[in-house]
């Protein structure tokens, strides 16, 4: 599976298959003055993410412990085992469970304010482009993990370690990098004057 560092040393499960997007521990987190902007929407989103993390933690406890290893086969096996367990537990998961319609509206607003010409050019040229994805499916294995532009990342609510925002084309994904699993998505999250929703696929 591309995107997973084969040199990663595990203790329980791979900490991440990409660079972390935000710190987890509240004591390490600097003051975030954007909280007031997100208000109840931000609180609802955080609670939904927190519930998912609790579920994943419980499922991890039920899996066989993974020894410290640099073996890529064992790394992949651990990732696949966790992903399979999550799929069973979230068998009825659907688009909008985490990015509810009101949350998706606010995300689109925040992204629209930050998507200038330079950001749009970066999104258009460097990310893998539009791909068909489903909730609870693997992140496309042959696609690189496109790094979200810093200005877009700064405009969005913080996430725990191993949960990250990713773009495929203009669609925003919520990705569990520990399991390489797509948790939710916002179709056409990026709006830009140079791209019409129906005709622009990247």
Q: Distance (Å, rounded) from C-alpha 134 to C-alpha 131?
A: 10
| 18 part of a folded domain | no
At residue 72, the pLDDT reads 81
Q: Is residue 13 part of a domain?
A: no
Beta carbons of 3 and 144 less than 8 angstroms apart = yes
Full 3-state SS string of 40-52: HHHHHHHHHHHHH
Backbone angles phi, psi at 11, to 5 degrees: -115, -50
Q: Which residues of the chain have pLDDT under 50?
A: 1-20, 23-36, 196-199, 201-202
Say what the pLDDT of residue 169 is. Answer: 84
Find the domain containing 172 and state its range. Answer: 32-186
Collect all residues with Cβ–Cβ distance below 8 Å to 187 and sequence separation of at least 6: 95, 171
Q: How many residues does the chain have?
A: 202
85 domain-assigned:
yes
- pLDDT value, residue 195: 57
Q: How many domains does the chain have?
A: 1
**Position 104 in a domain:** yes
**Is 62 within a domain?**
yes
Is residue 127 one of the residues assigned to a domain?
A: yes
Decide if 192 is inside a domain: no
pLDDT tens digits for 163-174? 999 988 889 999
- The verdict on residue 73 lying in a domain is yes
Determine the pLDDT at residue 143. Answer: 61
Query: Residue 42 and residue 79: Cα distance in Å, rounded?
Result: 29
How many whole angstroms separate alpha carbon 34 and alpha carbon 155? Answer: 8
At residue 192, the pLDDT reads 67
In the numeric block, which tokens belong to residue 111?
Answer: 């992204």
């Amino acid at each position: 599976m591309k995107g997973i560092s084969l040199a990663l040393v595990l203790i329980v499960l791979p900490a991440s298959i990409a660079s972390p997007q935000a710190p987890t521990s509240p004591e390490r987190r600097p003051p975030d003055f954007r909280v007031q902007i997100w208000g109840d929407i931000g609180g609802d989103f955080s609670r939904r993410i927190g519930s998912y993390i609790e579920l994943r933690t419980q499922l991890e406890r039920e899996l066989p412990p993974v020894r410290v290893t640099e073996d890529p086969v064992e790394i992949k096996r651990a990732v696949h085992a966790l992903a399979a367990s999550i799929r069973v537990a979230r068998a009825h998961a659907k688009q909008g469970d985490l990015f509810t319609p009101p949350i998706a509206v606010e995300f689109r607003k925040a992204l629209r304010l930050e998507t200038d010409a330079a950001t749009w050019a970066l999104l258009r040229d460097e990310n893998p482009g539009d791909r068909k994805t489903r909730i609870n499916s693997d992140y496309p294995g042959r696609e690189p993990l496109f790094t979200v532009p810093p200005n877009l990342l700064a405009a969005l609510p913080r996430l725990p370690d191993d949960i990250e925002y990713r773009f495929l084309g203009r669609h925003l994904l919520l990705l569990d990098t520990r399991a390489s699993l797509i948790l939710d998505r916002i179709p056409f999250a990026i709006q830009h004057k140079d791209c019409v929703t129906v005709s622009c696929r990247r």
